[in-house]
Chains A and B, each alone.
Chain A
Amino acid sequence: MILVFCELQNGKIRKASLEALSEARRLAGEARVGALFVGASCAGAEDAAKFGADLILKAEAPVLGAYSSDLFATVVADAVKARGASVLLGAATPMGKDLLPRVAAKLGAGYAAEVTGLSMHGNKLQALRPVYAAKAFATVDFSSEVQIASTRPNVFAVTECSKAGTAEALPAPTADFKAIVKEILAKSGGKQDLTEAEVIVSGGRGMKEGANFQLLEDLAEAIGGVVGASRAAVDAGWGIPHNMQVGQTGKVVSPTLYIACGISGAIQHVAGMSGSKVIVAINKDPEAPIFKLANYGIVGDLFEVVPELTKAAKALGITK
C-alpha cells in the first residue's frame, strides 16, 4: 500500500497534495492507495476519492489544529505502521519538508526530498531528484523497508481517477508534544507560495528600486501569478524580503511560466528557475545570459514592456 500525506487549505485538498496523490495512484497500479489527513478538522478530505484514494484516513483532534513536528510525525508514522504501507509520499510544501524527514527517522526509512520522478521496480522505489540546486539530477535507489519521498510541487500531473475512498478515523493522539506552532506572524495575505505558483513574474537588479516592483505586481495580478525576485534585488536593500528570492540560496521553483524582468541570469538565479516550463526574459542587454535560457526573449526596456504586457493581458482578459 502507498500512503500519501495530504494537506487541506480552506477545506480543499492542496494542489501539491493532489499531485502526490495522483502520482501515488499511478505508481500503485493494482495496489491500494490511502490518503492521510491530519488536523483539527479534515472536512474536504472526501475529495481524495476522485484522485485515486481507495482509503481516506483521518486523524482528527483539537490538538492537531496547530502544527507540531513531533506530534504529527508520531501520527503519520503510526498510520504507516498500522497499514503496513511500503511507500509514503507527500508534497514538498513547508509542512511536508518539515514533517517527512522526521517520519523517516522514526521508521528507519529512506527519504528522498523534492523528487521530480518516481518509479517502482518490484516493491522498490526509485526516485529522480534535483541536486546542486538543480544543476544536476540524482537517481536514488531505496533499500529500506519503508520508502519516503516528498514530491516537488508543479512537477507531477493531477489526474482524476475515481476510487471508493472509504473513510476511516485514526485513533486520537495524546496531546504530548515537544514543540508546536504558537502563532503566525506577518501573514502573507493568502498569497500563494512561490514554490507552488504556476506563474511567476520576477524582478532583478534592472528594477532599479523596490517601489518599481509594483509594475510586476500589476502584471502578476493580470495574468494570475506571484512575484519573485533575484538575489541581486533582495540584497540591494530595497526592502524585498528573502522569502521572495528565487535561486540557489532562495527558492527553487518550477512554474509553467516564468517571466524574468531585468534579471541578467547569474548561475545562482538560473539554478532556482531553470526547471520552469516556459521562460520569458525581458532585459535591455541583448547579451544577458538569461536569453540563452528563455523560450521567448524581449530585448527592451522593462519599464515600457511590462506595463504594455499588463495592458494587453487585461484587454485580452487573460487570467490563468
Chain B
Amino acid sequence: MKILVALKQVPDTETKIKVGAEGRSLDPADVKWITSPYDEYALEEGLRLKESKGAEVTAVSVGPEKAKDVLRNALALGADAAVLLKSNETGDPLAVAKTLAIFAEGKGFDLLLFGNKGFGADNGAVGAMVAELLGLAQANLVTKLELEEGRFRAEREGDGGTEVVEGSLPAVITAQRGLNEPRYAGLKGIMAAKKKTIEELEGTAVAATLTVSALTLPPTRPEGRKLDGDAAAQASALLGLLRDEAKVL
C-alpha cells in the first residue's frame, strides 16, 4: 500500500498574531513554526497503517524552504520519504490543492491523508479539493478509519452525530482529533532522519483563484461590568441586563 500524507507548516497555535508591514500577511518575526496539529493525526494514522498492514509512507508539503523542518520531523517519526513542493503562500486553497494533485497524479497512492484543516488559513478545503481533482472518494473530519479490500469505512463528525462513510480506495481522508494519539520522535528516529534526503521540487505554478488583499486584527472588546451582591442578587441582575439592556434573552 502507498500512502501520501500532506503536512503544512503553520505558526504555533499560541502565537500572538501581528500583521506584517505590507498589511496582507502575518508578521513572521518571533513566530515559532510547527506542523499543523490536525496533520499530526494524519501522519500518525499513516504510520500506524504502515506498522499494521505494511505501507510506504510519503510525506509531502507545499511551502517555502523552511517547511523542510516539518518534513524532517515526519521522517524522524517514521515516514519513508519526504517531498517539498516549493511554493509561496498565496492564501488560495485551490492553488495548493492543484499543486498537490499534480504531484500525486499517477503515483499510485492508495490513501491520501490530510489534517481536516490547516491551522491559520482555516479553510478546511484542500483535502476535499484534491479528492475532486483526482476523482477520488473523500471522508472529512474522520475519527476512526478501517480499510479492507479496496474499500474504507470511516467514522466522521457529521451533522447531529457520528456518520459512517463508506467508499472505494484510493481515497482522501482528513483527520480530526480523536483519530489517534500522535507519537513523539525518539532520538534514534531524529538521528536517522538527518541522514535521509528531502526531495525538493518546484511546485507547479498554478493560477490563483483568489488573493488575500488585507489582514486585520479584530476590534478589542470593551471591558465589561462586574455584578455585585450574593449569588441570588447577581443572578437576577444578570438576567435583567441580558433581557433589557443586551436584549439577548
Chain A residues proximal to chain B, CB less than 8 Å: 67, 69-70, 73, 93-95, 97-98, 101-102, 104-106, 108-114, 126, 129-144, 147, 177-188, 190-191, 193, 199, 223, 242-243, 248-249, 256-257, 267-268, 274-275, 277-280, 286, 291-301, 304-305, 308-309, 311-313, 316, 318, 320
Contact = CB atoms under 8 A, between A and B. Distances in A.
B205 interface: no
B124 A136 contact: no
Given A94-B159, A185-B161, A135 B238 contact: no
A316 B237 CA distance: 12
A2 to B, nearest CB: 17
B147 interface: no
A187 B164 CA distance: 12
Interface stretch (B59-67, B134-142, B187-195): B134-142
8 contacts: A98-B140, A102-B132, A108-B94, A131-B215, A133-B122, A179-B168, A179-B171, A184-B160
Contact of B239 (A248, A297, A316): A316
Contacts of A312: 232, 235-236, 239
Contact of A179 (B19, B165, B208): B165
B53 interface: no
B176 to A, nearest CB: 8
Contacts of B249: 199, 223, 257, 313, 318, 320
A223 B93 CA distance: 40
Interface residues of B, number: 84
B178 to A, nearest CB: 5
B216 interface: yes
B158 A178 contact: no
B128 interface: yes
Nearest to A309: B235
Given A70-B137, A308-B235, A312-B236, A135 B158 contact: no
B235 A138 contact: no
B238 A309 contact: yes
Contact of B122 (A126, A130, A147, A279): A130
Contact of A138 (B125, B139, B214, B248): B214
Interface string B155-198: 10111111111111001000011100000000000000000000
Interface of B: 11, 13-15, 17, 19, 26, 37, 91-94, 97, 119-126, 128-133, 135-141, 152-153, 155, 157-168, 171, 176-178, 207-218, 221, 223-227, 231-232, 234-236, 238-239, 241-243, 246, 248-249
Nearest to A303: B231
A225 to B, nearest CB: 10
Contacts of B164: 181-185
Given A179-B165, A242-B177, A140 B158 contact: no
A247 to B, nearest CB: 10
Given A69-B128, A102-B129, A181-B164, A308 B232 contact: yes
A179 B138 contact: yes
A278 B123 CA distance: 26
B222 to A, nearest CB: 8
Contacts of B227: 296-298
Given A139-B216, A293-B221, 6 more contacts: A105-B131, A112-B123, A132-B17, A185-B155, A296-B246, A316-B243
Contacts of A104: 94, 125, 129, 209
B209 A142 contact: yes
Contacts of B242: 257, 278, 280, 296
B138 A69 contact: yes
A186 B159 CA distance: 11
A111 B177 contact: no
A133 B166 contact: no
Contacts of A320: 249
A139 B133 CA distance: 26
A256 B248 contact: yes
Contacts of A286: 226
Given A105-B132, A143-B209, A113 B123 contact: yes
Contacts of A126: 213
